[in-house]
Structure 1
Amino acid sequence: MNAASTLTARLLTEHPRPRVIAGRRYAHWLAVGTVCLGAFLGQLTASVTALAYPALQRHFHTGFAAVEWVALAYLLVLVALLAPVGRLSDLVGRKTMYLGGFAVFALASLGAGFAGNLATLVACRAVQAVGGAMMQANSVALVARGVPEHAMRRALGVQAAAQGLGLALGPSLGGLLVEHASWRWVFWINVPIGLVGILAGWFLLPRTQSGTQRVPGPRRSDDGRQAGRFDLGGLLLLTGSTTALLLALSAASGLPLPGPAVAGLLLAAVLCALGLVRQERRATRPILAPGLVNTPGVRPGLAVSLIGYLLLFCPLVLGPVLLAEAGLSTARAGLLITLLPAAFAVAATVGGALLPRGWTDVTRCRLGAALAGTGLLCCALLPAAGATVPLLVAVPLLLAGGGLGLLLPANNALVMRAIPAECSAVGGGMVNMARSLGTALGTALPVLGVHLAGPAQGGRSVLLALAVVAAVGAVLTRSVRRR
């Protein structure tokens, strides 16, 4: 028992960076680079996995709606755990949780590659999401509180660029791995990246634990109320509402479920959502922290974050289907789709520097949403086939990706400025939860549109709807006072 306690204490004790690293003027950028490695890994996994769907269908002899749950299982667990992991990180330490996330992610990826059936693969993806939650719940907080105030927007832009780079490499890398190796390597590729992340985080991330003993007595929660038991009811209701909604969307997209079951799922999603609102108002330690959600600027900022990743992931899932209908090969389609996340990465890194210095983050958000909506609208109006389709699609994809690269970093900076510093981990978890919900909807809605109206007409309808959603994102963006 003593040995186990000693081992646990060592694992939960954060170690500071070596002095030779901590004393450097650019030490905070080394920490940002480590966080970017986790951001890159998470988005690489998302985009690489999508390219393996046809191979998984053939290998496991199942339909597309079933294989879709290789992605949705990951996203559901991620959404459910981001907020509670953010709270736990305030107690254990963000560095400890972040490094543990790399370890869990790598081990689960190893198991996913060895999966012998679809159920095992989906289970491994759920465990993989636990590691992803441990990383993502702390990534924004590590960046926002680890760099000087004047460099926060730039640092968040670099993190968004790392996400864009992972998304950009995913289609081409996934195609090469599936075609020349096996779909299993789509998951095994995460193992060496995870090991590098553990080593880099150990030496480059600063210690986040205070190192002082906590004073006994009642502790205050992040929204100012006295702390109580963990909000298990809120966690179950959140998980139930998101799972029921995505299951209903999957059933409408071809997952074999009877009609009454679909109606029951929709009803369960609504009831769980209503119960979640009531539970969070009554809980002493609410999982969604209404005190933070109701902070001026936070609620619309979280909605814009969800919208941004919905706009980003819908074309990534929908693009291969539409381009195949236009007669493009899988390799050419993958390279063409890469333009969207590549433009996102470039704009997130240097786009803000090219705009006038006097522009506020609100102005940058609105410009980005307008560019993204225009690009998606142009994609919806393009001809369905023809020799000029690749050239015609390239420009709108670059426009949409560049707009999202301006929108998301500026919006995240607005949200994190509105959240008190002592709540940064929970606030970062809520930002990532909104991002994951947007990613989940961006994965499910294209499949639904194609199933209901066919690739050509369904794809156009989805793209037109996305253009409208981008306009809504521009309207929601607003300035807030610094807290």
Structure 2
Amino acid sequence: MKKPGYKWIALSCTTIGALFSVLSASTLMIALPVIMKDLNSGIGIIMWTIMGYMFSLTILVPSIGRIADMFGRKKLYVSGFALFTAASLFCALSSNGVQLLIFRMIQSIGASFMIANSTAIIADAFPKGELGKALGVNSMVVSVAAVIGPILGGFLINFGWRNIFYINIPIGIIGTIWAAVSLKEMKETSNHEKFDFRGTFTFTFGLFSLLLALTIGGFTQWLSKSVIILFSIAILLISSFTYIENHTKYPMLDMRLLKTRLLAFAYASTLLNGIARGAVTFLLIFYFEGDKGIDPIAAGIFLSPFAIAMMAMSPISGWVCDKYGARILSSAGLLVSGLGLIGFMKISTTSSMSTLIICMVITGIGSGMFFSPNTSAIMANVPADKRGIAAGVRTMFNNAGMVLSIAISMAIISSSISPAAMQALFVHSHVSSASIASTQFISGLRMAFTISFFFSLFAAFISYLRGPAPKWNSQSAN
């Protein structure tokens, strides 16, 4: 039984979690060049502190979403909060790049517990007609964290980059206690169901092999022996997973989520938008701090227009979605994001900040128009007992897109500039070939943004093709 006002308590708990995880990521992103220099680590290790985190989320979240559907969301959410907080302490104490990467991966496990459950908790607490508004508020807070994070990160770097992780600890303690005390289980757990170990195993390792093949291929050669072997393993395991899920009474992933037209195209547009937008902030940070030599605080301020625009648009788009639906709004948002990416396709060392800010605002508005309605369309059109896995699959596709986006972008840039020159450029080393490295880096940036633009257009087309609301049988709907 939902108590009056509980929906806002649930939203506050999940919003703190969203603020926590995004703030951690955005503060870290701005500090990457500084961390690279301080820990004397290669760009590969430092880049994987971001990519590996998303990589892990992509693989873990769907399975955790299924476990939450079976055994409840609160315990997993609170446990994730606590684990993320503890891992932040160890990240702060890291003495080299490898240690930092390991503890970031542990952080990602905690984040998986939170992310797999937060959207489902909101969907459980809010009626269908208010879900878009609730998710819009949640997205707005995420945008606030994206605004504050780079600026806060730039400020904290003055006192040492480790403070970026230390600041997580008090937030994490407060959020963990608040969630433990306030959240309620809003649905009966399905303890009579059996967990699909075979499906989970084949899915986890199949997706792991696929993403690893794509990222290694992007940085080395697509026809290398290791890439071919990984692709072969991925095809075998994912094929096995599909067969298992279609012949299992209690599957990890209800395949109807992918066979239903509305959900399939909403998920596909999420993946394509992740590929289009995932590397934008990552690339701009290295552009501002590496190519332009701007200090971290200023770089954080210059990145804020994107998040501010998204913050302003998210609650508006959520409200509009509740009244008029998600199809047109989400598709239009992807087209607007594409307009912003057109401006980035012409980026140069001499690009004016006013031009870049306009491009960031346009891209941010488009993102705000897409995310809340698209997520609302997914969560409003699945039964209550499928919300955990539905949210997990959405996160999986979004993070998979972001991993691929960074891998593709870095592969393009790596093909146009030597690793040594790129490292020197990013840590502000004054080498004789600096101007040449800068020219090559800008050329790679333009190509990366061009590819992002075309993926955004494709995402808009796919989003528009989504069909009517699915009809679930009464057993699933209960």
Identity %: 22
1:231 is aligned to 2:197: yes
Any idea what the Cα deviations from partners look like across 1:363-385, whole Å, max 9, x if unmatched? 11111111001111122134x13
Q: Distance in 2 between the 1:84 and 1:326 partners?
A: 41
Q: Distance in 2 between the 1:315 and 1:177 partners?
A: 23
Indicate the SS of the match to 1:124: helix
The 5-angstrom pairing of residues 150-169 of structure 1 reads 150-169=129-148
Q: Distance in 2 between the 1:294 and 1:162 partners?
A: 32
- Give, in angstroms, the shift of residue 36 of structure 1: 0.9
**2:346 aligns with one of 381, 391, 394:** 381
Indicate the SS of the match to 2:261: coil
The 5-angstrom pairing of residues 71-470 of structure 1 reads 71-178=50-157, 180-208=158-186, 210=188, 219=192, 227-243=193-209, 245-246=211-212, 249-250=215-216, 252-253=218-219, 259-324=224-289, 327=292, 329-331=294-296, 332-353=298-319, 359-382=324-347, 384-386=348-350, 389-453=352-416, 454-470=440-456
- Give, in angstroms, the shift of residue 132 of structure 1: 0.7
1:481 is aligned to 2:463: no
Give the aligned CA root-mean-square deviation in angstroms. 2.8
Residues matched between the structures, number: 445
With 36-45 and 364-373 compared, the bigger mean Cα shift is at 36-45
Q: Distance in 1 between the 2:270 and 2:321 partners?
A: 23
Q: Distance in 2 between the 1:182 and 1:169 partners?
A: 18
With 97-106 and 430-439 compared, the bigger mean Cα shift is at 430-439
Q: Distance in 2 between the 1:210 and 1:147 partners?
A: 17
With 314-323 and 282-291 compared, the bigger mean Cα shift is at 282-291
Contact 1:417 1:482 in 2 (8 A): no
* Closer/same/farther in 2, CA of residues 122 and 284 from structure 1, 3 Å limit: farther
The 5-angstrom pairing of residues 59-74 of structure 1 reads 59-74=38-53
Any idea what the Cα deviations from partners look like across 1:68-112, whole Å, max 9, x if unmatched? 121222222222221221122123321121111111110111111
Q: Which runs of 5+ in 2 are unaligned?
A: 417-439, 472-478
- Give, in angstroms, the shift of residue 121 of structure 1: 2.0
Indicate the SS of the match to 2:365: helix
Contact 1:416 1:424 in 2 (8 A): yes
Q: Distance in 2 between the 1:28 and 1:234 partners?
A: 32
Indicate the SS of the match to 2:133: helix
- Give, in angstroms, the shift of residue 342 of structure 1: 2.0
* Closer/same/farther in 2, CA of residues 423 and 244 from structure 1, 3 Å limit: closer
- Give, in angstroms, the shift of residue 243 of structure 1: 4.9
Q: Distance in 1 between the 2:272 and 2:67 partners?
A: 27
Contact 2:206 2:235 in 1 (8 A): no
Contact 2:60 2:204 in 1 (8 A): no
- Give, in angstroms, the shift of residue 479 of structure 1: 3.8
Structure 1 moving runs of 4+ over 6 Å: none
* Closer/same/farther in 2, CA of residues 146 and 357 from structure 1, 3 Å limit: closer
Contact 1:307 1:438 in 2 (8 A): yes
Contact 1:308 1:408 in 2 (8 A): no
1:43 is aligned to 2:22: yes
Indicate the SS of the match to 1:297: helix
Any idea what the Cα deviations from partners look like across 1:125-163, whole Å, max 9, x if unmatched? 222111111111111111112012221100011111222
TM-score (normalizing by structure 2): 0.85
Contact 1:76 1:243 in 2 (8 A): no
Partner in structure 2 of residue 9 of structure 1: none
TM-score (normalizing by structure 1): 0.84
- Give, in angstroms, the shift of residue 445 of structure 1: 2.7
Contact 1:47 1:171 in 2 (8 A): yes
Q: Distance in 1 between the 2:13 and 2:322 partners?
A: 28
Q: Distance in 1 between the 2:386 and 2:92 partners?
A: 37
1:34 is aligned to 2:13: yes
Q: Distance in 2 between the 1:133 and 1:86 partners?
A: 9
Contact 2:317 2:372 in 1 (8 A): no
